[in-house]
Amino acid sequence: MEKIKMTTPLVEMDGDEMTRILWKMIKDELLLPFIDLNTEYYDLGLEKRNATNDQITVDAAEAAKKYGVAVKCATITPNAARMEEYDLKEMWKSPNGTIRAILDGTVFRVPIIVKGIEPYVKTWKKPITVARHAYGDVYKATEIKVPGPGKCELVYTGTDGTEIRETVHEFKEAGIAQGMHNLESSVESFARSCFSYAVSQKQDLWFATKDTISKKYDHYFKDTFQEIYEKEYKEEFERLGIEYFYTLIDDAVARVVKSEGGYIWACKNYDGDVMSDLIATAFGSLAMMTSVLVSPHGYFEYEAAHGTVQRHYYKHLKGEETSTNSMATIFAWSGALRKRGELDKNEALINFADKLEEASLKTIEAGKMTKDLALITTLENPAVLSSESFIKEIRNTLEELLHAV
């Protein structure tokens, strides 16, 4: 079979530990034999980040801006223990944080659905994607522990001297208070990222806040979404036959549980933090969750939602066999290849991405899986495979699928 050609490079960001091992296996077994893989490679492994004073992360993000599509392996976010382990010059920031700051986007978490790994919610048939706003609110709040009776105020002093003053509370006793904020630019890019992603996935978009109670703050989010929708996306949504709708967060929660899935749920920062963990767990496993950063300018960066699976890596270093699930990393690749294919009108590449996903799902459905899934599957007598043999099984299935056409 002739290898599939790529016209534009995909930005490839390599990473750390067990996921770095899987990365190479995925490329060797599932990609290089079938595609003339055209990537611009950036090594975001911690050693390279340290050697380049983290410039490599910035360069990788700039490349993602240049080419539009990136795929990223999980990376270590250094802490005190890692400083020692890797003899680091500095406690480098989270690569995801750095990349997000440069691309300015929203993170969408997408579960992989497969027969045999059943969601806890019986009605869920299709994935529910959570889009979490990742700036401000309670994550950047200022808090006061109020010691006793007194007045607590919220004061804004404009650079031109304008003053706005609101009483938070006249305290008759001790208590607590909190001030939080968000920014016009951040809320607007959150909205645009959500609408762009809904268009790219051809899925409905739900958005929910508590605007009945928070009449200025949450209302601002609601209004911003509505205005941007009307002005910039309504026509496209109608053309694609997809829907945007806003509802109260309480109503959204109830509807989500009764739904069959297949839509994107945009959440404010705190709601998204909590709800994405709830949805991920309810769909079965963290190892089956992918994540895509979508910038309002239309750049896409795909990755697994899990980390570098450190504990498995140490086993691997000791020469022991591992059974690490590569699904989320494979789907990061297929997502990125499909997007590259769509942008380049490369049908062969899109088809390959579809087949790669199909082969991965079929392998699990045939009862061949890694240990994490074997523990929760409803299939009887699953075969528990090593990291490597799972990928090899997917390759066999993939070859069958590709030759069947």
Size of the site for ligand NAP (CB under 6 A): 17
- Which of ligand NAP, Mg ion, none binds 75 (CB below 5-8 Å, type-dependent)? ligand NAP
**Residue environment code for 72-90, b if the CB has 16+ CB neighbours within 10 A, otherwise e:** bbbbbbbeeebeeebeeee
Pick between residue 139 and residue 314 the one whose CB is nearest to Mg ion.
Answer: 139
Binding piece for Mg ion, criterion CB under 5 A, among 68-76, 95-103, 275-283, 311-319: 275-283
Tokens matching residue 157: 């002093």
**CA angle 74-277-115, nearest 5°?**
85
- Using the 8-state DSSP alphabet, how is residue 303 labeled? E
Residue 273 interaction partner, one of Mg ion, ligand NAP, none, beta carbon < 5-8 Å per kind: Mg ion
Contact set for ligand NAP, span 311-340 (CB under 6 A):
311, 324-325
Placement of tokens 């795929």 in the chain: 71
Candidate segments 7-15, 103-111, 266-274, 288-296, binder of Mg ion by CB under 5 A: 266-274
Asked if 143 and 176 count as a contact pair (C-beta separation under 8 A), the reply is: yes
Which partner in Mg ion, ligand NAP, none is near 298 (CB below 5 to 8 A by kind)? none
Asked if 303 interacts with ligand NAP (CB under 6 A), we say yes
372 binds, among ligand NAP, Mg ion, none (CB under 5 to 8 A by kind): ligand NAP
Q: Which of residues 65-124 bind ligand NAP (CB under 6 A)?
A: 74-77, 96
Minimal CA–CA distance to 340: which of 34, 49, 1, 68? Answer: 68
281 binds ligand NAP (CB under 6 A): no
Name which position in 64, 71, 264, 309 contacts ligand NAP (CB under 6 A). Answer: 309
Q: Where are the alpha helices (DSSP H) in 111-203?
A: 184-201
Separation CA 40–CA 67 (nearest Å): 9
| Radius of gyration for the alpha carbons in the chain, expressed in angstroms and rounded | 23
**Least distance from ligand NAP to the Cβ atom of residue 36, Å:** 28
Q: Give, as ranges, the residues between 348 and 367 that touch Mg ion (CB under 5 A).
A: none
CA angle 10, 16, 19 (to 5 degrees): 75
273 binds ligand NAP (CB under 6 A): no
What residue is closest to Mg ion based on CB? 273
Decide which of ligand NAP, Mg ion, none touches 303; Cβ closer than 5 to 8 Å per partner kind: ligand NAP
Question: Is 306 among the residues that bind ligand NAP (CB under 6 A)?
Answer: yes
Select from 187, 189, 185 the least CA-distant residue to 268. 187
CA-CA distance, 92 to 88, in Å (whole number)? 8
Per the CB < 8 A criterion, the answer to whether 155 and 128 are in contact is: no
Tell me the backbone φ, ψ of residue 106, rounded to 5 degrees.
Answer: -120, 145
Nearer to Mg ion, 76 or 130 (CB): 130
Site residues for Mg ion, 297-316, by CB under 5 A, read none
Which residue is associated with the tokens 């930005």? 11
273 is a site residue for Mg ion (CB under 5 A): yes
Rounded Cα gap, residues 18 and 323, in angstroms: 10
> Minimum distance from CB of 273 to ligand NAP (Å)?
14
When asked if residue 137 is in the footprint of Mg ion (CB under 5 A), the reply is: no
Query: Are the C-beta atoms of 64 and 103 separated by less than 8 Å?
Result: yes
Q: Which is nearer to ligand NAP, 93 or 219 (CB)?
A: 93
- By CB under 6 A, residue 310 contacts ligand NAP: yes
Say whether 143 sits in a helix, a strand or coil: strand
Give the nearest residue (CB) to ligand NAP: 307
Task: Tell me which residues touch Mg ion (CB under 5 A).
Answer: 273, 277
Task: Tell me which residues touch ligand NAP (CB under 6 A).
Answer: 74-77, 96, 286-287, 303, 306-311, 324-325, 372
